[in-house]
């Protein structure tokens, strides 16, 4: 029998979350303004949930956005016929042939990419978004370069190399700083003003900020790019996914593989990080950092055993971690454990206890953990 750990992935939750985001966007649509279209972001193997499950869960998305060319090809070959967008664009001239063949759209963020396109021929024009750096200083053309880059893209469009040419940027602080986000949007609007084409600026946090998407581009076609919220985790530190009607798509669960009672003063795990202050029952769970559970999780990180919320004690080892069974005295070898997800702590609660974000925990679930669709 394999180790009892597994990640149960709910395809129904993926669909539900996509639908919830769609309804939210619908609410802000006023007469004469279209609801933004949704690129469901499925990078990093769909935030650890698996591309194929994402293809089922997001079957009704308007498009799918990702990073890896091979993943995009995989989506096509699996039967996805809608738009596919590569968020970092492409890297080598040879990639252009694949974009052409599989009708994959790209973000263009450097002059090197324009150079490569100018030296290539395609059968089908490639759709593109020209990315502006509005402050994050990660990808995108500088404000001073943008109109030149956009004009080059329009020339490529006239030559039939590019098809649709749109405008995009990415927000650095949409989760916690509305003023910084407004400032980025203002730069975007100023620099792209008068240039034609569709607009894409919103990640999950901006998409979920009431009224924000509606004010972005009331007169242009808009595409939003939510990622984390579609998996049922929150981009915000102060608004839970559940409060926004989102459902966890991943439940990481395991079982107790050992139970013992220790006396006051006894210690637990590597480095003896935990010392019992009284006699207590503890359990060992088949889940460690080699499964993707964070090694730096502190004593007190929430865990559910046999339906009862308790806490991690001691340092997380490679393959195991220990829990306090005081509130679950009947727990035994084989009792179910939920690390995060449905009926457990949310991935965001665990992340917060560990000083990180749900994104990192979801993406870090190791390949050795079997995924089970539910
Ligand atoms: C990852 C990513 C997104 C989605 O971000 P979330 O915070 O997960 O919604 C959107 N746009 C770009 C360019 C990204 O890299």
Q: Which pLDDT does position 34 carry in this prediction?
A: 83
Judge whether 231 counts as a catalytic residue.
Answer: no
109 Cβ inside 6 Å of ligand 1: no
Q: Which pair of structure tokens corresponds to residue 49? A: 């949930």
57 Cβ inside 6 Å of ligand 1: no
Give the model confidence (pLDDT) of 3-33 as tens digits.
Answer: 999 999 999 999 999 999 999 999 877 666 7
What superfamily does domain 250-373 belong to in CATH? Lyase, Ornithine Decarboxylase; Chain A, domain 1 (2.40.37.10)
In this structure, the residue with its CA closest to atom 15 of ligand 1 is 87
325 Cβ inside 6 Å of ligand 1: no
170 Cβ inside 6 Å of ligand 1: yes
203 Cβ inside 6 Å of ligand 1: yes
Give the model confidence (pLDDT) of 164-184 as tens digits.
Answer: 999 999 999 999 999 999 999
What 3-state DSSP class applies to 168?
Answer: strand
Among the options 43, 146, 231, 289, which is catalytic? Answer: 43
CB 208 within 8 Å of CB 21: yes
Q: Which pLDDT does position 31 carry in this prediction?
A: 65
Record the pTM: 0.96
Give the model confidence (pLDDT) of 315-353 as tens digits.
Answer: 999 999 999 999 999 999 999 999 999 999 999 999 999
* Distance of CA 70 from the midpoint of ligand 1 (Å): 19
Question: Which CB contacts under 8 angstroms, 24+ apart, belong to 266-271?
Answer: 267/314, 268/313, 268/314, 268/322, 269/313, 269/314, 269/315, 269/317, 269/321, 269/322, 270/314, 270/315, 270/317, 271/315
Q: At what angle do helices 143-158 and 111-118 cross, to 10 degrees?
A: 20
Judge whether 43 counts as a catalytic residue.
Answer: yes
* Distance of CA 136 from the midpoint of ligand 1 (Å): 13
Distance, CA of 52 to CA of 55 (rounded, Å): 5
Sketch the domain layout of the chain as residue ranges.
11-234, 250-373
Q: pLDDT means per 10 residues in the chain (374 residues)?
A: 93 98 87 87 97 98 97 97 98 98 98 98 97 97 98 98 98 96 97 97 96 88 97 97 98 98 97 97 98 98 98 98 98 98 98 98 98 93
Q: Which fold has domain 11-234?
A: TIM Barrel (3.20.20)
Q: Which pLDDT does position 263 carry in this prediction?
A: 98
CB 252 within 8 Å of CB 338: yes
Q: What are phi and psi of 119, to 5 degrees?
A: -100, 20
* Distance of CA 226 from the midpoint of ligand 1 (Å): 6
* Distance of CA 41 from the midpoint of ligand 1 (Å): 7
Q: Which pair of structure tokens corresponds to residue 276? A: 């019992």
Q: Which pLDDT does position 29 carry in this prediction?
A: 77
Q: Which pLDDT does position 374 carry in this prediction?
A: 86
* Distance of CA 319 from the midpoint of ligand 1 (Å): 31
Q: Which pLDDT does position 218 carry in this prediction?
A: 80
* Distance of CA 314 from the midpoint of ligand 1 (Å): 34
Q: Count of CB atoms within 10 A of residue 220's CB?
A: 16
204 Cβ inside 6 Å of ligand 1: yes
Q: Which pair of structure tokens corresponds to residue 67? A: 């990073």
Q: Which of 111, 116, 117, 120 is nearest to 140 (CA)?
A: 111
**Which of 37, 129, 203, 216, when mutated, tests ligand 1's pocket best, judged by the most ligand atoms within 8 Å of its CB?**
203
225 Cβ inside 6 Å of ligand 1: yes
Task: Find where tokens 């966007």 sit.
Answer: 25
Q: Which of 287, 351, 367 is nearest to 319 (CA)?
A: 287
Q: Which pair of structure tokens corresponds to residue 243? A: 């409060």
217 Cβ inside 6 Å of ligand 1: no
């Amino acid at each position: 029998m394999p180790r009892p750990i597994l990640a149960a992935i709910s395809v129904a939750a993926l669909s539900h979350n996509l639908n919830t985001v769609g309804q939210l966007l619908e609410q802000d649509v006023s007469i004469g303004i279209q609801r933004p279209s949704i690129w469901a972001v499925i990078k990093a193997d769909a935030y650890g949930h698996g591309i194929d499950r994402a293809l089922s869960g997001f079957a009704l998305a308007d498009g799918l956005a990702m990073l890896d060319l091979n993943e995009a090809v995989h989506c096509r070959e699996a039967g996805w016929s809608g738009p596919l967008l590569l968020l970092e664009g492409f890297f080598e001239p040879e990639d252009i042939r694949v974009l052409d063949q599989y009708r994959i759209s790209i973000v263009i963020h450097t002059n090197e990419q324009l150079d490569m396109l100018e030296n290539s021929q395609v059968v089908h024009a490639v759709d593109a978004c020209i990315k502006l750096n509005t402050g994050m200083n990660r990808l995108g053309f500088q404000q001073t370069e943008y109109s030149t880059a956009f004009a080059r893209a329009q020339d490529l469009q006239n030559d039939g190399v590019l098809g649709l040419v749109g405008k995009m940027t990415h927000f650095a602080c949409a989760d916690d700083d509305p003023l910084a986000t407004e400032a980025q949007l203002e730069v975007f609007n100023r620099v792209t003003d008068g240039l034609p084409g569709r607009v894409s600026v919103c990640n999950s946090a901006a998409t979920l900020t009431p009224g924000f998407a509606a004010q972005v581009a009331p007169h242009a076609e808009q595409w939003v790019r939510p990622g984390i919220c579609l998996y049922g985790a929150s981009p915000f530190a102060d608004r839970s996914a559940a409060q926004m009607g989102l459902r966890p798509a991943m439940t990481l669960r395991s079982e107790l593989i050992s139970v013992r009672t220790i006396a006051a003063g006894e210690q637990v795990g590597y480095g003896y990080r935990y010392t019992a202050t009284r006699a207590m029952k503890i359990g060992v769970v088949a889940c460690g950092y080699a499964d993707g559970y964070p090694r730096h999780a502190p004593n007190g990180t929430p865990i559910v055993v046999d339906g009862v919320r308790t806490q991690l004690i001691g340092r997380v080892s490679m393959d195991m971690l220990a829990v306090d069974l005081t509130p679950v005295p009947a727990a035994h070898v084989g009792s179910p454990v939920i690390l995060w997800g449905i009926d457990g702590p949310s991935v965001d609660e665990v992340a917060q206890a560990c000083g990180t974000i749900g994104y990192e925990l979801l993406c870090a679930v190791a390949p050795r953990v079997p995924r089970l669709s539910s």
